[in-house]
């Protein structure tokens, strides 16, 4: 298991900024923003799944559930 990276969260202009102790190796800024937007837009029950194929992020799947009662 890899060492846990250090994260630093700052509040700038009422928008959080995340600083990492090293560059990301797989996700880019656009993908992270898209994942964050999907999570924010989702209702109270759901999943965001990342699908990696042939070494690349191929799909970001969104699954939402509703209470059946």
The per-residue pLDDT for 1 is 43
The per-residue pLDDT for 3 is 54
Q: What pTM did the predictor assign? A: 0.69
Run of H or E residues at 57: strand 56-64
Q: What's the pLDDT tens digit per position in 15-61?
A: 777 788 888 889 988 999 899 999 999 989 999 999 999 999 999 99
Question: How many structural domains does the chain have?
Answer: 1
Domain that holds residue 42: 7-64
Report the distance separating Cα 15 and Cα 9, nearest Å.
Answer: 10
The per-residue pLDDT for 51 is 97
Report the distance separating Cα 22 and Cα 5, nearest Å.
Answer: 7
The answer to whether residue 69 sits within a structural domain is no
3-state class of 45 per DSSP? coil
Whether 17 contacts 10, CB under 8 Å: yes
The answer to whether residue 2 sits within a structural domain is no
């Amino acid at each position: 298991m890899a060492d846990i990276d250090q994260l630093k969260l700052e509040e700038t202009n009422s928008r959080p900024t995340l600083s990492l102790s090293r560059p990301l190796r797989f996700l880019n800024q656009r993908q992270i923003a898209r994942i964050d937007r999907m999570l924010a837009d989702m209702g109270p029950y759901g999943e965001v799944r990342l699908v990696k194929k042939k070494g690349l992020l191929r799909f970001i799947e969104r699954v939402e559930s509703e209470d059946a009662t």
